[in-house]
């Protein structure tokens, strides 16, 4: 299924972590399960249309298929073949549709496994409003944030034991005998690790993102008022990293008021922090004051979904899992198996994840081309069923028809 032309070449990563992208890169794709093949076909149409519109014949993507999920199981007998993991690393950049979580033992989640095995430590979710999208909010246009959610620790470490198990009983006994902690009988037990190393690399990537794009602030979101040595440490380590590595480019919120009269110095981004529940309220009431959020795993999980709900739902919410060696861009919703093969569902999430992919490889002209055309399509009320039923006077189109409508509106 892969297409290799004479100009196809691999993307490489230099020692500073920057990508070197050839004019005709090989980029991996996993079409996904359920509605995955439908939304992938639509996304491919849009991405190829944008690259052609932006660069003519000077640039081209050579897609390389990688197998995972039900298709992989059918063809190889494995849900996630080793060859696929090596393929993502070789491509450096890949995109995927939603994958089924296998029922039963073994792999807890293919998505989580991909993130952990490939050390894709930053789950990046940009959330912004496209005019005309149905929203429950009075001013959804004020939402324009990027969530950097730590992908390998906190609850995603998955260290837990069921109530009544030998392990849970042993840990409860150890806590009581060693630390005087008395748990109720039949307690399930989980461990929530957070490390300096993994916090710092997440915050570093968030700060660099804000600097590269000229955004005004990075906010550390935590529950450090209660969990002082995990979530509180996330806050402290984040501030320390910013002041140590970006001293001349950042300023803390407290410094702004104590030293600069409440006004940030020109050219510096403000690093601030908010307690998680307060941040949730701020995301609803004053979203325009926040630009990049850096969060431990669980905080970022609910915040990114809540933000997406304000601007039209997960159908228009892109996402990426990014590490130092490779990046995997993905739809943020599930497989919706009852709509599989019906050419019906909204491909917006995967198309916008493709926009993130284009930005990641530095093809910003093509990325902008997609975003402008997508905005025009939504403004013209040419949308799939999930949006059409919420928009007066909309023209409902199929998944593939939506892709062609976006391409038609490219300038």
Cα–Cα dist 376/131, whole Å? 9
336 is in an annotated binding site: yes
368 is in an annotated binding site: no
Cα–Cα dist 72/78, whole Å? 6
Catalytic residues: 156, 223, 277, 301
Q: What is the bridge-based pairing of β-strands 122-128 and 269-275?
A: unpaired
35 is in an annotated binding site: no
CA 268, chain centre distance (Å)? 25
274 is in an annotated binding site: no
Burial of residue 27 (CB within 10 Å: 0-12, 13-18, 19+) is buried
12 is in an annotated binding site: no
Cα–Cα dist 317/331, whole Å? 7
For 16, how many CA atoms within 13 A lie in the half-sphere containing its CB? 3
Tokens at 189, concatenated: 């037990």
Q: Which residues pair with 76 in a beta bridge?
A: none
Q: What is the DSSP letter of 189?
A: E
Cα–Cα dist 290/297, whole Å? 19
339 is in an annotated binding site: yes
92: nearest Cα among 363, 357, 350: 357
224: nearest Cα among 160, 273, 287, 161: 273
CA 338, chain centre distance (Å)? 25
3-state helix, strand, coil in the chain (%, to 5): 45, 20, 40
Q: Is residue 296 classed as helix, strand or coil in its secondary structure?
A: coil
348 is in an annotated binding site: no
385 is in an annotated binding site: yes
* Residue 366 contacts residue 358 (beta carbons within 8 Å): yes
325 is in an annotated binding site: no
346 is in an annotated binding site: yes
333 is in an annotated binding site: yes
149 is in an annotated binding site: yes
Cα–Cα dist 162/91, whole Å? 39
115 is in an annotated binding site: yes
For 320, how many CA atoms within 13 A lie in the half-sphere containing its CB? 25
Cα–Cα dist 339/64, whole Å? 26
334 is in an annotated binding site: yes
Which residues carry a binding-site annotation?
Answer: 100, 109, 111, 115, 125, 149, 301, 333-339, 346, 385, 389
Which residues carry a binding-site annotation for Mg(2+)?
Answer: 301
Which residues carry a binding-site annotation for NADP(+)?
Answer: 100, 333-339, 346, 385, 389
Which residues carry a binding-site annotation for D-threo-isocitrate?
Answer: 109, 111, 115, 125, 149
């Amino acid at each position: 299924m892969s297409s290799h032309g004479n100009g196809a070449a691999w993307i490489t990563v230099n020692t500073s972590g920057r990508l070197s992208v050839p004019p005709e890169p090989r980029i991996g794709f996993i079409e996904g399960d359920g509605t995955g093949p439908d939304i992938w076909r639509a996304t491919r149409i849009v991405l190829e249309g944008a690259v052609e519109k932006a660069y003519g014949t000077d640039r081209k993507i050579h897609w390389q298929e990688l197998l995972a999920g039900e298709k992989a199981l059918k063809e190889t007998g494995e849900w996630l073949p080793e060859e696929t993991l090596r393929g993502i690393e070789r491509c450096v950049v890949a995109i995927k549709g939603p994958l089924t979580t296998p029922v039963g033992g073994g792999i807890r989640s293919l998505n989580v496994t991909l993130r952990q095995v490939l050390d894709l430590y930053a789950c990046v979710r940009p959330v912004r409003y496209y005019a005309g999208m149905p929203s429950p909010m009075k001013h959804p246009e004020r939402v324009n944030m990027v969530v950097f959610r730590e992908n390998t620790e906190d609850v995603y470490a998955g260290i837990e034991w069921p109530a009544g198990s030998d392990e849970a009983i042993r840990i409860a006994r150890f806590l009581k005998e060693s630390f005087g902690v008395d748990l109720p009988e039949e307690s399930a037990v989980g461990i929530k690790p957070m490390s300096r190393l993994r916090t710092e690399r997440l915050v570093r990537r968030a700060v660099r993102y804000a600097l590269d794009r000229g955004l005004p602030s990075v906010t550390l979101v935590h529950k450090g008022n209660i969990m002082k040595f995990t979530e509180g440490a996330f806050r402290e380590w984040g501030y320390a990293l910013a002041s140590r590595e970006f001293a001349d480019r950042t300023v803390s919120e407290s410094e702004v008021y104590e030293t600069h009269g409440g006004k940030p110095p020109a050219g510096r981004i403000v690093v601030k922090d908010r307690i998680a529940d307060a941040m949730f309220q701020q995301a609803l009431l004053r979203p325009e004051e926040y630009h990049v959020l850096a969060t431990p795993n669980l905080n970022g999980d609910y915040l990114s979904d809540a933000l997406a709900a304000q601007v039209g739902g997960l159908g228009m919410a892109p996402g990426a899992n990014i590490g130092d060696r490779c990046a995997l861009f993905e739809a943020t919703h599930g497989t919706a198996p009852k709509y599989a093969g019906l050419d019906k569902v909204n491909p917006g999430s995967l198309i916008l994840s493709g926009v993130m992919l284009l930005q990641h490889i530095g093809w910003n002209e093509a990325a902008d081309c997609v975003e402008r055309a997508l905005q025009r399509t939504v403004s013209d009320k040419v949308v799939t069923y999930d949006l059409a039923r919420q928009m007066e006077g909309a023209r409902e189109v199929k998944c593939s028809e939506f892709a062609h409508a976006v391409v038609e509106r490219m300038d």
